[in-house]
Chain A
Amino acid sequence: MDGDAGGMTVTKADNQARADAAYIAQLIQPHQVHRDVYTSQTVFDLEMQHLFTNVWVFVGHDSQTPKHGDYFTTQIGTQPVIQVRHSDGQIKVLHNRCPHKGTKIAIDRTGNTGTFFRCPYHAWSFETDGALKAVPLDRGYENTGFRTTANAGGIKPVGSVHTHRGFVFARLAETGISFDDFFQDSLSSLDNMVDRSPEGQLEIAGPPLRYMHKCNWKMLVENQTDTCHPMVAHQSSAGTAVRIWEELGNPEPKPAAMQIIAPFMSPYEFFEDMGIRTWPNGHGHTGVSHSIHSDYSAIPGYFEAMSAAYGEARAKDILDENRHNTIYFPNIMVKGPIQQLRNFIPLGPDKTLVESYIYRLVGAPDELLARTAMYNRMINAPTSIVGHDDLEMYERAQEGLLSDGLEWVNLQRLFPGTAEDFSTETVENGTTERQMRNQFDAWKTFMTTSMPDRKDGKR
């Protein structure tokens, strides 16, 4: 067991941890994954203990907490955390637990705590970086040894916090891979989204959609780069939209709703040609050369504002990038061209909360934000005719995987036949399942980083 200042960290017996590592390594093969990765409570618990602890996980946007004392409550994996603006202007991410009895310090989704946090149970108070400020009647703790405990340190901060162009990420573990080593060049998608503001700045635009899915979180992440499902699963919505429009005589210009939904019916060749790029550590994106976001109509005044800010050539470069869905492993997806972020929050092996955020391009015309808000409600809402069919597929898969007919899930589309190298950036045919394989390669790596006797030889 590891000791710390006055407290103890309880760890599993080494033989159990070795068994965990051996089990995890068996679940992932180069071309297929075992169904346990989606259905097993044991795997889910190991994901929370290892994967979501070892990697950098999205927390929020700094515009959600602009002023000192502003906070926002969320989760990293199943861990409740608070994002808060400290007195020095920095964003802090704290475990949402009073060091005394465990009471959550904040339960509303957003708020302002003033200059300090105060636990509603016994009025212990804390600075906005978590440091213990005062305990009422504190002579009761004199000569008790309390001052040497970890609890006396206050609300515990997460291991590390990094803000990249307004986006706040945290690593729960005290030590581990650095932010830059984890994300590398994949940050270009976030950068492009922010560069689309003439002022290089995004601002949160209202609360997120919150959509509950009775399926494993990884199904949602995989679906973001699954380019062989839109024309099938979404035929009922996008196909019907195209048909109604034909019946009206294909009037031009198409309204924004048609511009958003019709490209879902693009043929396989469109998606093959658009390309998929993979980066190390499980990150990747669809839409290398073009995407379903490429043909939105120009908004008057926007290119002029971008040209004034960046020069015409640079403005054109920024806007010519039309990446579709970028996965930041493990559990967010970003759509740069329309300033959206979807957070796939794991709640259980068969329960995932999807929060879909939109952002305003500071300095850009409002029409862009109106289109972004329209996309969000049309595609990502619990009331969305597109979302309905996606959720139907996930939930059917979650139930179907309980079948003992087969144990393995196939990820073999455009698999080269032998184990792939994911350590360098690669661009391939836009219908490949390589990005899904990339995610599972990273999954295995970061699941076992903190386990002894790793079986994949990467230690």
Chain B
Amino acid sequence: MTDFTNSQIIDFIYAEARMLDEGRYDEWLALWLEDGHYWMPLDYQQDDPHLTTSLMYEDMFMLKLRVRRLNGARTYSQKPKSRCSHVIQRPFIDLLDNTAGLYQTNTSMHYVETRLDDQILLALTATHDLKRVDGKLRIANKRVDLLNCDAAFGNIQLLP
């Protein structure tokens, strides 16, 4: 059984952000467990993803669809393509349970997304639920809380 250190868990969070920034989506999807969800609430401190609207609450099918679409021949909103950059603060490790193989991190980030002459900046906190599976860290669930989740946005096309 592998025991993960703080440093390894933090490296995992940094590596995930880099995959998103570099558009390495196949690698990124491979980090996820099959029953995971990427959740971006609409309301501040929202506690339910099901019976009220969220910005995103996506299972693996939707996430695969989302990243496959980005490279489609007729994906007009990605002609030209968007680019993004995550600037991340050192993650807090809120849970490190090597016996159960469960980990949770809390990471503040600034997210920049740009296309043509437009650029947006979002401040957010990402909460990762990680699991040890076959000696590797995998994403069980990820929650992204935008600081201004209740503001009116134009398109947010990539993954904050």
Contacts and interface: CB of A to CB of B under 8 A. Distances in A.
Interface in B42-82: 42-43, 50-57, 59, 61-62, 64-66, 68-69, 72, 74-78
A382 interface: yes
Contacts of A353: 152
Contact of A385 (B53, B57, B69, B150): B69
Given A240-B72, A255-B61, 6 more contacts: A210-B153, A240-B65, A240-B69, A241-B65, A383-B56, A393-B76
B152 A206 contact: no
B75 A244 contact: no
B155 A391 contact: yes
Nearest to A204: B52
B76 A206 contact: no
Interface string A172-200: 00000000000000000000000000000
Interface of A: 109, 205-214, 233, 235-237, 239-241, 244, 255, 257-258, 353, 356, 358, 360, 366, 369-370, 373-374, 376-378, 381-383, 385, 387-389, 391-393
B53 A237 contact: no
B40 A389 contact: no
Given A241-B65, A393-B76, A370 B54 contact: no
B157 interface: yes
A27 B42 CA distance: 40
A148 to B, nearest CB: 42
Given A214-B154, A353-B152, A382-B156, A373 B74 contact: no
B100 interface: no
A232 B99 CA distance: 52
Given A373-B51, A381-B56, A387 B155 contact: yes
B25 to A, nearest CB: 13
Contact of B68 (A206, A240, A374): A240
Given A210-B153, A211-B152, A236-B69, A383 B55 contact: yes
B77 A377 contact: no
A373 B61 contact: no
A375 to B, nearest CB: 10
B1 interface: no
B77 A392 contact: yes
Contacts of A369: 51
A374 B152 CA distance: 19
A109 B152 CA distance: 13
A241 B40 CA distance: 21
17 contacts: A109-B150, A214-B154, A236-B75, A236-B76, A239-B74, A240-B65, A257-B61, A369-B51, A373-B52, A381-B42, A381-B56, A382-B153, A383-B55, A385-B65, A388-B157, A391-B155, A392-B77
A382 B55 contact: yes
Contacts of B56: 377, 381, 383
Interface string B127-160: 0000000000000000000000011111111000
Nearest to B73: A236
Contacts of B68: 240, 244
A391 B154 contact: yes
B154 A212 contact: yes
B52 to A, nearest CB: 3
Nearest to B144: A383
Contacts of A211: 152-154
Q: Closest 8 A-B residue pairs measured CB to CB?
A: A206-B52, A236-B75, A382-B153, A210-B152, A392-B77, A388-B77, A212-B152, A236-B72
Interface in B82-106: none
Contact of A366 (B51, B53, B65, B74): B51
A378 B156 CA distance: 13
A353 B74 CA distance: 27
B151 to A, nearest CB: 7
A377 B54 contact: yes
Nearest to A393: B76
Contacts of A240: 65, 68-69, 72
A237 B64 CA distance: 11
A391 B72 CA distance: 17
A250 B150 CA distance: 37
Contacts of B78: 236
Name, among B40, B69, B72, the residue most crowded by chain A CB atoms within 10 Å (CB to CB). Answer: B69
B51 A233 contact: no
A207 B42 contact: yes
Contacts of A382: 55, 152-156
A207 B43 contact: yes
B50 A370 contact: yes
Contacts of B64: 244
Contacts of B77: 236, 388-389, 391-392
Nearest to B159: A383
